[in-house]
Structure 1
Amino acid sequence: MSIVRRSDHDCYDHYELKDYNKLFKCDGCKMKGFGPRYHCAPCGRELHKECRHPKSTIHHDYFGGSIFTFRREPYTKLVSHNRRQFSKCCDACGKDVCGFSYRCEENDKDLHPCCANLEEKLLIDNTIFNLQSDVSSKCIRCKKKKITDGARDVRGWSYVSACGKYHFHVYCMAELVHDACMRYGEVGPGTGELARSSRGRGSRAQKMLQMIKSVVKIILAALLGDPTMLISNVIVDLVSRSF
């Protein structure tokens, strides 16, 4: 007996907004999420709120007059051994576009739905962070100017402080989630305190660490669709030893 599968949008009437304190993989954009999500009881699929209610077109301040159109299917290309692989990267986080996305054909730009929520400017502790694609400083986490996924160089976006002291690849922030899951399994509010304590550090070091945590929380909250920043706090505590 053959099984007929329905696509996401065929069963939208069954999606209900739920709020679980655990990570999930969005069946729309294929990226990780946390907290509020739309859950379909019959098929078990889950969607970010941005993926359940996408806009037909969006703008982003970083790209000025560019118009991004919502797409359900990712672009792929044929490679060796008659295999297909994803052919577009998100211009914000640098990750492959594997599902839902927003695309500007005119400027050849792509954004994951959650990445489109990243602000052009952040103001944290009286320090302005600007969203940039070309940077001259090294990322605090990876200690490099450029990012790589092992197979290619990925441009992506970075948040850089106006003073030039702090630089964060958005790509590296997305990797924090993956690394935390690989190290500690399911990451949630119940996870114990595993991060190294900042006690004993000088006031300057503590201030820098607090600045780093504040920026990371905001970036992860946007990437994960986590408005409460609950998972952001947990992951930052778990991986703060990396800084």
Structure 2
Amino acid sequence: MGKTGNYHPSHQEHPLELKSFHKPYKCDGCKETGFGKRYRCDRCDFDLHEDCMFLADQKSHASFRGSTFEFLEHPPRKCERDKYCKDCERYCDACGKPVKGFVYHCAKNGLDLHPCCSNLKQVLKIDGKEFRLGKGVKSKCFWCEKVKVKGSVSGIRGWSYVSLCNEYRLHVYCATEMVSEVWKSRDKIGSGNNNKNDCLDLENLKLPKSLAKLRKNGARGNKYWRIIKAVLRTIACILMGEPTITMTCLVELLK
């Protein structure tokens, strides 16, 4: 499944144009937050992630060998109720967050992936270190300091990027939450224009105690912190497009 000309099957009233803004948006495909560039219809206030704009009818993923994922506009339901049903709620097996819209679903193995999560790279090379995408990792995330993703259901730990030295590990979910917190802090400041410098004063954003302490821990802390910044920036860009303003905020915040 994909677009036809400048149109998309989920929005055939008007063509969608590739645009980029400094404000976050809610994707009308997967219903998740996006930043930066998006495919947009101004007349209908309709936005799609690039990953939700260009879709395949079926796809596979190296982390789930033997599973074939079929694209669905809505997550599959277990019952026929019209209203929200807790028993029908499905969770992305990559980030651990609920699936509310576009999804890649494997009926055989009961697996689900957000379109953006389905395109995560298996290997990232960041600051001279190699990080691999893993599931069911038992070590703690350096951001939330937990093994399991916050709010995820039993059986879904959520994917993490883990360095080969096993010193650095970050939930995919936590990377997306970090970017969201940056925008919340920006809103508290009350910035009303597009000046990049408006993003720099982000003292309201609270860092985990261990990371806040580490940042002040001399040379070793500075090296560790530099790599953490690079990991956050890289994963967030992959998941959310190219959030230029947001990434500028992160770089300044995490100095």
Please report the TM-score for the alignment, with normalisation by the length of structure 1.
0.82
**Quick check: 155-164 or 125-134, which moved more?**
125-134
Tell me: CA distance 1:12–1:160, structure 2 relative to 1, closer, same or farther (3 Å): farther
Cα distance in structure 2, aligned partners of 1:152 and 1:62: 19
Q: Deviations over 1:121-157 (max 9, x none)?
A: 1112232211111223211011111223187674110
SS in 2 for 1:173: helix
Tell me: CA distance 1:42–1:169, structure 2 relative to 1, closer, same or farther (3 Å): same
Aligned counterpart, 1:4: none
Structure 1 residue 191 corresponds to structure 2 residue 207: no
SS in 2 for 1:37: strand
Tell me: CA distance 1:199–1:65, structure 2 relative to 1, closer, same or farther (3 Å): closer
Cα distance in structure 2, aligned partners of 1:23 and 1:143: 27
Q: Which amino acid aligns with 1:225?
A: G
Q: Which sections of structure 1, spanning at least 5 residues, go unmatched?
A: 1-6
Cα distance in structure 2, aligned partners of 1:104 and 1:153: 16
Cα distance in structure 2, aligned partners of 1:26 and 1:156: 21
Aligned counterpart, 2:5: none
Cα distance in structure 2, aligned partners of 1:231 and 1:209: 18
- Which residue of the other structure, out of 223, 231, 246, is the alignment partner of 1:215? 231
Q: Which amino acid aligns with 2:31?
A: K
Cα distance in structure 2, aligned partners of 1:191 and 1:212: 20
Aligned counterpart, 1:232: 247
**Quick check: 93-102 or 18-27, which moved more?**
18-27
**How many aligned residue pairs are there?**
232
Q: Which amino acid aligns with 2:56?
A: K
Q: Deviations over 1:96-139 (max 9, x none)?
A: 00000111222221111111121111112232211111223211
Q: Which amino acid aligns with 2:147?
A: K
Tell me: CA distance 1:10–1:147, structure 2 relative to 1, closer, same or farther (3 Å): closer
Q: What percent identity do the matched residue pairs reach?
A: 38
Structure 1 residue 21 corresponds to structure 2 residue 22: yes
Aligned counterpart, 1:172: 174
Cα distance in structure 2, aligned partners of 1:200 and 1:151: 35
Q: Which amino acid aligns with 2:219?
A: S
- CA-based RMSD: 3.1
Aligned counterpart, 2:3: none
Q: Which amino acid aligns with 1:232?
A: M
- C-alpha displacement at 1:237, in angstroms? 4.3
How does 1:68-217 map onto structure 2 within 5 Å? 68-76=69-77, 83-85=84-86, 87-149=89-151, 154-185=156-187, 189=196, 190-194=198-202, 201-217=217-233
SS in 2 for 1:70: strand
- C-alpha displacement at 1:59, in angstroms? 2.1
Cα distance in structure 2, aligned partners of 1:110 and 1:171: 15
Higher strand share: 1
Contact kept, 8 Å, 2:31 with 2:100, in 1: the verdict is yes
- C-alpha displacement at 1:202, in angstroms? 1.6
Please report the TM-score for the alignment, with normalisation by the length of structure 2.
0.78
Cα distance in structure 1, aligned partners of 2:202 and 2:183: 13
Cα distance in structure 1, aligned partners of 2:215 and 2:85: 50
Q: Which sections of structure 2, spanning at least 5 residues, go unmatched?
A: 1-7
Aligned counterpart, 1:35: 36
